[in-house]
Amino acid sequence: MKKWIQRLGISMLAFSLTACGSSIPKNLTESSASIDNDSKIPSSIDKPVEVEFWHAMTGELAQALQKITTDFEAQSPNVKVKLVYQGSYTDLQQKLIAAAKANRSPALAQTYGDWNTSFVREGLLTDLTPYINDPKHGMSEAELNDIYPLLREENKWDGHYYSLPFNKSAPILFYNKTMLEQNNVKVPQTWDEWQVAASKLTRTKSDGKGKIYGSGFENGIVLESYNYVVQAGGEFYDETNQRLVFNSPEGRAGISFIRDMLQSGAARLAGEDGFLSEPFGRGDIAMYVGSSAGLSFVNKAVGGKFDWFAAVPPKGKKSVAYIQGTNVTVFGNLTEEQKLGAWNYIKFLINTENSAYWAQKTGYLPVRASVSQLDSYKAFLKANPVQGIAEKLLTADRFLIRIPSSTALEPVVSKEMEAILYGKKSVEQGLSDAEQAGNAIIAKALLNKK
């Protein structure tokens, strides 16, 4: 499970590099954003080059990545892509920070948008805009626009592209179709319907041992509450004024919804199970919201014991879906041939055919709209209709927010959210304390960047 540190834009880079004497401009300017534009893009790669790609993929995901990479090398014999597994996303982030401080960054890496906010400010990344616009090696306007607008915007800073989308997922509602039908409960589409359905489905097990919960939230819900703040009509973070703003009537309504579901006993967290796919597979939970990237885990946990499916999460005041997952970034300490090789690899990695292949093999979302027009992908969705549920959210109006702060923010907000959800503080007091403490941390981080 991706931690909130990766989802809400929390990075130590701004602090660690400043401590080493590196200066960070308050805002990106045209000149700083164009740091790589003086470089000459080679017309070709005439001698062998190697580029390292640091990633966090394991199992079938790593196998799919290796297949795409092997195919790329077959058509680009002068470019060797060395795949280097770096552990979890947290491990990967920490290693990228350490490598940046030592001036030993890899050529390519999976990165979250919030990490890149700091990397861009530090001038560590290659501006991909000149490569996108290059008449020989670039993308046509149609090719670029084929990437979903939401995903394109997440990878831009001051109008410049510093990464492109790769493995993307979205939250969906997994539900036990058999259980809902047996209890004459419809799949909820709104928060009110969700609460009613969860209450109706909650009961003591037939053998009297244990309880079946109507709904569930992953453990990270205490750290992912921003979803519900925004769904309630509020905002979590004001990017213009760089302040947390979740302590509002709408924010309080969103957090109250989660708290009430848990305190009523109709919902539970994953707890010691770690993830809800296992208790869902045991029939201990009727439905839960989790990442679409978990489809294969759910299918394995259920093991054919009952029918299940998924739906777009129930909406509050409005329907909002935060598209999650990482992008692919090119760092700047490379030769011009390595930069071109890295760029050509990214283009290949996310072209229509490979985006479709990646989605089919891993459960992640395709990043290109043209994937839906492929006959092979249409056949795949017909055979695996649940895969298409999350894709409905690719036209959402939100991507992960990018807070320019430090890891110090995460435990502060987490502590207050937990106090609220476990009934130790009122919603009003907890959000007030979290916002005040969080804004103090952000203000300090911004001051250090001046």
What pLDDT, on a 0 to 100 scale, did the predictor assign at position 16? 36
Q: Which two tokens stand for residue 368?
A: 């290109």
Between CA 337 and CA 201 the distance in angstroms is: 60
Assign residue 407 a region: left if phi > 0, alpha if psi is -120 to 50, beta otherwise? alpha
Between CA 252 and CA 164 the distance in angstroms is: 35
- Residue of 131, 152, 86 lying closest to 337 (CA atoms): 131
- Residue of 54, 10, 9, 65 lying closest to 364 (CA atoms): 65
pTM for this model (two decimals)? 0.82
What pLDDT, on a 0 to 100 scale, did the predictor assign at position 208? 87
CA distances from 357 to 164, 171, 328, 374 (A): 17, 21, 17, 11
What pLDDT, on a 0 to 100 scale, did the predictor assign at position 240? 84
Between CA 265 and CA 121 the distance in angstroms is: 46
- Domains of the chain and any CATH numbers: 4-169+323-399 (3.40.190.10), 171-320+408-449 (3.40.190.10)
3-state secondary structure of 127: coil
Interior angle at CA 166, CA 161 and CA 171, nearest 5 = 115
Between CA 186 and CA 161 the distance in angstroms is: 43
Q: Phi and psi of 16, rounded to 5°?
A: -65, -40
Between CA 435 and CA 441 the distance in angstroms is: 10
3-state secondary structure of 51: strand
Which residues lie closer than 8 Å to 74 by C-beta, 6 or more apart?
none
| Ordered per-residue pLDDT tens for the chain, 450 residues | 344 333 333 333 333 333 333 222 333 333 333 344 455 899 999 999 999 999 999 988 999 999 999 999 999 999 999 999 999 998 999 999 999 999 999 999 999 888 898 899 889 999 999 999 999 999 999 999 999 998 999 899 999 999 999 999 988 999 999 999 999 999 999 999 999 999 999 999 988 889 999 999 988 776 678 889 999 999 988 888 889 999 999 999 999 999 999 999 999 998 888 899 999 999 999 999 998 888 989 999 999 999 999 999 999 998 877 788 899 999 999 999 999 999 999 999 999 999 999 999 998 999 999 999 999 999 999 999 999 999 988 877 666 666 755 556 778 888 898 899 888 999 999 999 999 998 998 888 777 665
Which residues lie closer than 8 Å to 129 by C-beta, 6 or more apart?
159, 160, 161
Q: H-helix or E-strand containing 300?
A: helix 295-302
3-state secondary structure of 286: coil
Q: Phi and psi of 349, rounded to 5°?
A: -60, -35
Between the two ends of the chain, the Cα-to-Cα distance in Å is 34
Q: Which two tokens stand for residue 379?
A: 């056949």
Between CA 53 and CA 86 the distance in angstroms is: 10
